[in-house]
Structure 1
């Protein structure tokens, strides 16, 4: 068997093909779902309600410094050759812009080594909870923490952190690296990169929500599959914001706010569906009691 055949039959390559096919199939649904608006709403909500992120201002400042340093280092050493290469295919105006996006994608790759486990994920989970509380979902946060505090698990609720870089964890880390060269293909390649990694990484932004709900692995999988198109759109937009030069990592906080706003809306809709049924049952019981009383009289 040739080297090409060996590579093409590698499990990782086959899995990437399946994910790419699924992401392409869902592309229309993802865009039509409007779930990609939630990260934008997260920015607006953060600006109008700064208190949701000010509680983690140290982590926010550290993120800004880390993102800036890594981006500047990459830009200093790699921007010119990448911009020159891309300009050959896209022209002198588009090439330099695409090179900036590519460096943003590369910076995310390196940031995972420094920021994720050290300070980013715990701060994002705190922001997620604060946003839920500000949107009237304090019961969800309180019940979720209480449930896992009394379960005796070592990890507890604090183990369910927001995963902004889920696409870069374990095998996803390798897949991200393998798909990174797609950005060298003008426009289409970058869009494919965003869709593929958005498809994989989108659900990670709701890891905290799933555990606050107390869902097991199968429940999460069913829910994610049901909303796969929405999560793809959400993940794609969050990645795009993360690629913004110098301040990309800071958008992880606004993306988290957007994810929490989305979760709060889903909770509100779920309660709205349940509430009329409860009221109807109460009214039915009250009506029966009135009839029984009238008969006895």
Structure 2
């Protein structure tokens, strides 16, 4: 039976989908937005006062991150590695460590984030914006949302930086369901990081959107127009968060990187004083 020109074959559909994914991946990599988390690390090293201003939260993050990872390492590493050996062969020890890192990150979401992490990260985000010349944005934004002063990392109001934005109740389920991707030979861990990175990337700019006073529709329009960039950024932040023992500490430098990116967008688009208007594409 001849092929209908208006109904492409399965092979053609797969080829078209592969081309779309290839284009998307190229856009994500070529955007270089994955560099912002690493720029955040450099900025933290060269501006130590920014991080030491939230030293108590940083110390707690290091403690919880190390304790939970070590506990999972002791009790679950060998059983999981035994399964991975069958699937992935000699790479099983490495993939088992990555899987434990992903599991510890899920547990930390319930412990660290609501207790002490969000206010400290909000303070770091605002302080980074100010350090990059965006004081007016921070002051006007906080006046709008009624957050008050965040100079001590407290009293930051309703607009909080939320690491792992995808970790809403539904996001937690999606993250947990994606954990088995790590068992897929060769490409599983990469798919896990890219999938969750695409869900969480834009969440690191939640504070920026709130300071701008953007509506839900305006935020989503901007996110949609920059989705490859947010995927690359989210993948890089998640990869850093999976580092054994100290993964949660990278939430601080990831936040700094997100704020540096926001300051760059703000400076290029000259949006100060235009809060509430649609954000233009870069």
Normalization by structure 2: what TM-score?
0.83
Larger radius of gyration: 1
Unaligned runs of 5+ in 1: 1-21, 151-155, 275-297
Query: Hey, what does 2:49 align to over in structure 1?
Result: 51
Q: CA deviation at 1:166?
A: 1.2
- 104, 126, 129: which is aligned to 2:123? 126
- 132, 140, 144: which is aligned to 2:141? 144
- 104, 111, 116: which is aligned to 1:114? 111
Contact in 2 for aligned 1:23/1:232 (Cα 8 Å): no
Alignment of 1:43-192 (within 5 A): 43-92=41-90, 94-149=91-146, 158-192=157-191
1: CA distance, partners of 2:89 / 2:221: 45
Count, aligned residues: 248
Contact in 1 for aligned 2:164/2:200 (Cα 8 Å): yes
SS of the residue aligned with 1:159? Answer: coil
2: CA distance, partners of 1:56 / 1:123: 6
More helix by share: 1
Contact in 1 for aligned 2:266/2:272 (Cα 8 Å): no
Deviations 1:168-195 (A, max 9, x none): 1121111001111101113311111111
Deviations 1:185-220 (A, max 9, x none): 133111111111111111110000001111111110
Distance 1:176 1:119, change over 3 A: same
1: CA distance, partners of 2:192 / 2:225: 23
Cα RMSD (Å): 2.2
Deviations 1:18-48 (A, max 9, x none): xxxx977632321121110100111111111
Unaligned runs of 5+ in 2: 1-19, 148-154, 274-282
Distance 1:203 1:24, change over 3 A: farther
Normalization by structure 1: what TM-score?
0.79
